[in-house]
Amino acid sequence: MYNDFLHDKLANPWRERAAGFGIKSAAAFPIVSHGNLNPQTKEAAWDTINAIPQFREGEESPYRTFVTLHDITALNNAEKEQEAAVDFLRLLNTCKSKAEMVRSATGFFQRRSACETVGIRLREGNDYPYFEVRGFS
């Protein structure tokens, strides 16, 4: 995936740095993962960047550098979500009662969401009272 914002030097200065590195050093720029903030959407974007200098036969200095960028934002986000799911399931597997499970889940969601207040409601008849709360006064 190659988005328009990657063409903007201000949005992704790493592409220019990678190309400059390849030309100046005559060495390949290592593949790196880089996060940046898309100034148009204000969202984080993750790329892998690679630069390979190209040489003419018999010359020691490169005449151009091929830079490739791969948008790995979706992959990075999916990995974080998977890690969170595994952490949550691991946490729940250690619980010995429903009350302990709900307490653990409340703490987990509070830490993961960075919210000051978190509550879990469970059905009781036709009502859904709070079973566990954190951060409420």
CA angle 98, 104, 106 (to 5 degrees): 100
Range of the domain at 122: 78-134
Q: Please say whether the beta carbons of 134 and 110 come within 8 A.
A: yes
117 three-state secondary structure:
coil
Shared-domain flag, residues 88 and 41: no
User: For the chain, how many structural domains are there in total?
Assistant: 2
Same domain, yes or no, for 12 and 55? Answer: yes
Same domain for 90 and 44: no
**Same domain assignment for residues 58 and 82:** no
pLDDT at residue 121 tops 80 = yes
Is 93 found in the same domain as 68? Answer: no
Q: What average pLDDT score do residues 10-35 get?
A: 63
CA distance 40 to 84: 28
Domain end point (choices 52, 72, 92): 72
pLDDT of residue 7: 42
Cβ count within 10 A of residue 65: 19
**Residue 73's closest CA among 12, 8, 28?**
12
Per-residue model confidence as pLDDT tens digits over 58-117: 988 888 888 888 888 899 899 999 999 999 999 999 999 999 999 999 999 999 998 999
Report yes or no: 74 and 52 within 8 Å, Cβ to Cβ: no
